[in-house]
Amino acid sequence: MSSQNYDYKDQNLQDQSFVGQDLSGIDFSGTDLRGCDFTRAILVGANFERVVTGQTQQQINTAILSIIMGAIAMIGIIAILSYVVIMIDNQLFLLFGETYRKISGIFSSILLFMLYFFQGNIFKLFPKTSSFFGNSSLSILFALMLFLTLGLAVISFTGGGESFLLLIPMVISAIVTFKVFTWLIESIKSRIGTSFKKANLTNANFTHTLIENTDFSFALLTGICIDGWMLDSHTLFANSQCDYLYWNPQRERYPHDNNFQADELKKFLSKFIKN
């Protein structure tokens, strides 16, 4: 379906969907495109001068709500499992006494030390995990670690005997919990707001645009003008295709003679990422 007669100049188009539409040559200059979805849209020669992209408050609220709902569901499950574990723990203590406490403390310490020292590798896998399962997976992990930390704290200070030995794994658990919390916050900040995924943006004008949390994955970007645009580190260009672009007011072509080589586009665009 063609939208050639539409003019969206200086409008607020937050959270609008233009999926698969033919918007070639349309004027979007000065518009607020946060939350818009241009997936597979045809935007050849479209004018995006001075537009703003990124997340809307509605998208942020939805992400937070999904996290809260996931955490609430997990809290109920953890409460039931905690009750079962406490019952089993009490029975084992009655059977084996302080020997059981020492052995369980040693094993829990070893487990948490391994979690702490291998946290670098674990957190490298978090982006793949969160993208597959969503933010709820991180909220569930945060709830688990929080309950573990609080449980260790309660046992350490109220268990008597040698329960104080659990203070070390409690501290380690608290550190890991904080790491998960910071990753959870970062996952919300890095969520995609505006999508140009698989869109045809050939010869589009992005002069003086503010590009945040935007997905250009698999998009056609040959001939776009990026004079004065600003990017954030959450914008994606994975597998986008671009032979050349124009990067200054004089519409100077880059690369000057040849086309972009593999990974050259990504390195060039990194110069425009704002701090």
The answer to whether 273 and 252 have CB atoms below 8 angstroms apart is no
134 is a domain residue: yes
Half-sphere exposure of 183 (CA within 13 A, CB side): 27
- Predicted TM-score of the model (pTM): 0.69
Mean pLDDT, rounded, for 165-191: 80
- Tell me the per-residue pLDDT of 16-60, one tens digit each, with 9 for 90 and over: 999 999 999 999 999 999 999 999 999 999 999 999 999 999 988
| Tokens matching residue 174 | 């608290």
What is the predicted pLDDT for the residue at 147?
76
* Tokens 């946290």, residue located: 119
Check whether residue 42 and residue 118 sit in a common domain. Answer: no
More confident residue, 86 or 109: 86
3-state secondary structure 228-256: CCEECCCCECCCCECCCEECCCCCCEECC
- 141 shares its domain with 117: yes
Give the residue with greater pLDDT, 237 vs 4.
237
> CA-CA distance, 159 to 153, in Å (whole number)?
10
Residues 62 and 177 occupy one common structural domain: yes
Q: Report the pLDDT value the prediction gives residue 97, as an integer from 0 to 100.
A: 74
Domain annotation covers residue 123: yes
200/163 Cα distance (integer angstroms): 63
SS3 207: coil
Mean pLDDT, residues 118-123 taken together:
58
Note whether 98 and 116 are same-domain residues.
yes
Q: How many domains does the chain have?
A: 2
Please check whether residues 163 and 197 belong to one and the same domain: no
CA angle 186, 34, 13 (to 5 degrees): 160
Q: Cα-flanking dihedrals φ and ψ of residue 109, to 5°?
A: -65, -45
Out of 143, 158, 189, pick the residue that ends a domain.
189
- Structure tokens that stand for 140 in this block: 């569930």
**Structural domain range at position 275:** 36-54+192-204+211-275
The one-letter code for the residue type at 146 is L
Cα–Cα distance measured from residue 17 to residue 175, given in angstroms and rounded to the nearest whole number: 42
Of 231, 196, 192, 181, nearest to 211 by C-alpha is: 231
Cβ atoms of residues 274 and 231 within 8 Å: yes
